[in-house]
Structure 1
């Protein structure tokens, strides 16, 4: 008992040993800048979005789709549930630092041994009858080597990794919504172009028919005009089929039924992509949630090496038991029925079939795996940014040249139409010029959509937002009625009894 107070005082201080390596972020070879980038900003511009990155596109319909996806997407809800599990596990691990108390009430019939240890000869005496126990059990493990602290450190890192995984899922869903939305708008623009071409070809058909009736044209020209109209109308049907598929994909991302989901057709053209600050490569360490998640997993694996090492050392627990014990329930709570015991329990590991050694080897291997995954995540992130920047740069140059090709094709088509109407050029020249114009216009529309998609890819590669000082918040989702709160039991004796122990 004289040693009890010093042990308790020592266990309450931070001076106890802590086995195992402390986590430090590993060094990573970071290039000074992204290649081929002439514009970059280490700090964000004031006008850019700080959290809802999609608002830089200035599209109200996209904003509403993002709100629906955040509130209803089932993958996001699953990621939030996994984060709640990890956060609860981290809070559970903190309970290991505190003593545990329990009240194991028993009422049993027993027979004692005639040869049990006794200060006086039993001479065949034994007890056969009821035994009533009302003790209070006390247990407290003293964290001499930091095993509990390392375990708690690991669960906290797991919770942080789950939070990063949640935001990574959310960022992926948001990027998919934006990507498919811009692809859908590209199809709307293409269908608008093709419908306009159908109208122009309809006018050409009228001219060809009039020329046939006047005897100045041939039936071949009229048949060719009808073929061009049917071909363009078939293109519209093919584009509409692709649009329906994208609409169904968006419905899944938004967590709604595809049968009831519609995105109104956009009548306007496709705007140019906004400027996005690429920053510097080192920013990815704070921006990308997948890199942060990999680092948190590495932190947890490092902490678990300390847990595995602590198993080689003795563990000390303070055990106590006190209460009442009697063979007669009528005198169970009288002072004469009082019993108690108190003292330390020391467990010295001597032999375990090398389980502790292999457990440490396993923990170190898990750390090495997490380290490799962290480095791989950072390498992949750099490649994602480089790919997106290259796409934006090359698509910008392609859009400029494609624009010139479109303008010249439209000019040639106008000249061919004028010459055809004047009867100085065959209808075949007009058909070729019209086809080329339609191809150039659709190609320009596709490149404009690809530039928006490439911008979304760059934003995703950069981790979404630009202001990393903002806290990572759990997105607000629509509650699922089927996700019942199991704590809401029906009123009754069992519900009231359960309420007595809700704080344990």
Structure 2
């Protein structure tokens, strides 16, 4: 009795071990380790080279404190523009490009479920019924009962399963999970791009409104100057050329004022498309902007790799490429398929489900490619070169990220200092125009000198307004280069992207 039980236990243990081996298998191919962002080991960078903290000149734009802080969530709120905040909220809901990337992310998640389905057996049924008659003119033939009619009904069921012995299916699942994470990072990067574009267009409109106010004020001043020169000419004090010069100056500024409407309308239409609105039914109120860029927390350079969704996406693409190499290596190993089929078969419906009508078959199949002309080796080499290419792409993305941060840090810092000088130049031009106007009114200088002073002032005012716009758009680009309010902890995990889609996520849009 003891010996019998021991044999049973041994067989059961062997069966369980075999089942465990079939279910777990082994994983072939290289294990994934994220590569360093640069091929050469370098000392860690403590701060950005173009940060204002690295320069002795302290006037102008400053970064927010503390240095290791970063923007989070709705980064555009740092500009304290309620209208911009409302537009950004609309964009996050209604932007069609963002919706496209969201649906691509949903599609990537379905590919995980498709890959996971290969871990499980496949079962099916195929009931059939045929009525046939053989030919009576067969002569000498092996066909039984020539010229007779026959019926055959069958209700078969079959099941097959290919155990994932070498990790081909598991590597495929990992590849799709990493690809879904890449799609999630692409979605966040697209959101950031659209949000930054909206902010830039918004500040461009505010800049156009500021220029419009400057030109409108100039038009009014030029009208008064024309009235003065005309009155002097009518009374015989002035000359005709002064009147013509005043008319020319006024008409030129009026033309400039009209031209500003083109750019403003185009920026307004672009914002309408970004927020998913019909440009024909969308408008932004006129509000001149002449403010400085707010302090922005730039953080530490070492944190940039965790803040940019495009860098996170490039790294996930690497992980997916590594999984592809494992899939290619699995082709070197044999494939085991476990199959079974059974059912009922009878020439009459009456006896179809009788026990003697049963049929069945069961058995494993092992297949191995003996010769493929180098196909497997070429496939492995293909995915290795793809991986190496993705490594270079990842490192280039990192380098580009640092370049963009440094570029925009320099732009905001230098523009803020230029604005201070331009404000002084504009103030001097205003004083110069007042002095020249007084000299003209007292008959010391000709009117052409007043025109020159007016042109100088207008040019300085326009330059100052343009610099303010450049500084604001550069600060938006700096925020974008820093990754906005995103960080890598917001990237969904493989488990999260593998969750079953909800009914709302799979509803067809009307």
TM class, shorter-length = 0.7 to 0.9
Aligned counterpart, 2:314: 294
* Aligned-pair CA distance for 1:255: 2.6
* Aligned-pair CA distance for 1:262: 1.5
- Asked whether the equivalents of residues 309 and 488 of structure 2 are also in contact (C-alpha less than 8 Å), the reply is no
* Aligned-pair CA distance for 1:182: 0.9
User: Residues 436-488 of structure 1, C-alpha deviation per residue, up to 9 Å, x if partnerless?
Assistant: 111101101100010000011111111111665456699xxxxxxxx994699
Residue aligned with 2:286, SS: coil
From 69, 72, 93, the counterpart of 1:44: 69
CA spacing shift, 1:10–1:398, aligned 2, 3 Å: same
Matches within 5 A, 1:37-76: 37-39=51-53, 41=66, 43-44=68-69, 49-76=71-98
CA spacing shift, 1:312–1:470, aligned 2, 3 Å: closer
- Asked whether the equivalents of residues 168 and 290 of structure 1 are also in contact (C-alpha less than 8 Å), the reply is yes
Structure 1 distance, partners of 2:395, 2:76, is 29
- Asked whether the equivalents of residues 184 and 491 of structure 2 are also in contact (C-alpha less than 8 Å), the reply is no
Matches within 5 A, 1:254-403: 254-266=275-287, 268-403=288-423
TM-score, length of structure 1 as denominator length:
0.86
Aligned counterpart, 1:117: none
Aligned counterpart, 2:58: none
Aligned counterpart, 2:230: 209
- Asked whether the equivalents of residues 308 and 487 of structure 2 are also in contact (C-alpha less than 8 Å), the reply is no
Q: Which moved more, 1:200-209 or 1:280-289?
A: 280-289
Structure 2 distance, partners of 1:63, 1:350, is 65
* Aligned-pair CA distance for 1:82: 0.9
Structure 2 distance, partners of 1:242, 1:93, is 50
CA spacing shift, 1:445–1:126, aligned 2, 3 Å: farther
Q: Which moved more, 1:223-232 or 1:276-285?
A: 276-285
TM-score, length of structure 2 as denominator length:
0.85
Unpaired stretches in structure 1, ≥5 consecutive residues: 113-121, 475-482, 489-504
* Aligned-pair CA distance for 1:420: 2.5
* Aligned-pair CA distance for 1:79: 0.8
* Aligned-pair CA distance for 1:280: 2.4
Aligned counterpart, 1:35: 49
* Aligned-pair CA distance for 1:415: 1.5
* Aligned-pair CA distance for 1:97: 1.4
From 160, 172, 175, the counterpart of 1:139: 160
Aligned counterpart, 1:162: 183
Matched, 1:454 2:474: yes
Q: Which moved more, 1:291-300 or 1:271-280?
A: 271-280
Aligned counterpart, 2:438: 418
CA spacing shift, 1:126–1:369, aligned 2, 3 Å: farther
Residue aligned with 2:162, SS: strand
CA spacing shift, 1:210–1:305, aligned 2, 3 Å: same
From 145, 166, 172, the counterpart of 2:193: 172
* Aligned-pair CA distance for 1:126: 7.9
* Alignment RMSD: 2.7
From 29, 32, 39, the counterpart of 1:23: 32
Structure 1 distance, partners of 2:492, 2:369, is 43
Structure 2 distance, partners of 1:27, 1:354, is 33
* Aligned-pair CA distance for 1:179: 0.9
Residue aligned with 1:64, SS: helix
- Asked whether the equivalents of residues 89 and 155 of structure 1 are also in contact (C-alpha less than 8 Å), the reply is yes
Matched, 1:86 2:97: no
* Aligned-pair CA distance for 1:131: 2.7
From 407, 422, 437, the counterpart of 2:457: 437
- Asked whether the equivalents of residues 413 and 434 of structure 1 are also in contact (C-alpha less than 8 Å), the reply is yes
Aligned counterpart, 1:116: none
From 242, 261, 267, the counterpart of 1:240: 261
Size of the aligned set, in residue pairs, is 465
- Asked whether the equivalents of residues 37 and 394 of structure 2 are also in contact (C-alpha less than 8 Å), the reply is no
User: Residues 150-206 of structure 1, C-alpha deviation per residue, up to 9 Å, x if partnerless?
Assistant: 110000011001111111111111111111111111111001001101111111112
- Asked whether the equivalents of residues 51 and 467 of structure 1 are also in contact (C-alpha less than 8 Å), the reply is no
Aligned counterpart, 2:128: 106
Structure 1 distance, partners of 2:233, 2:509, is 83
Q: Which moved more, 1:305-314 or 1:22-31?
A: 22-31
Matches within 5 A, 1:460-475: 460-465=480-485, 469-470=489-490
Structure 2 distance, partners of 1:318, 1:109, is 33
Structure 2 distance, partners of 1:487, 1:250, is 24
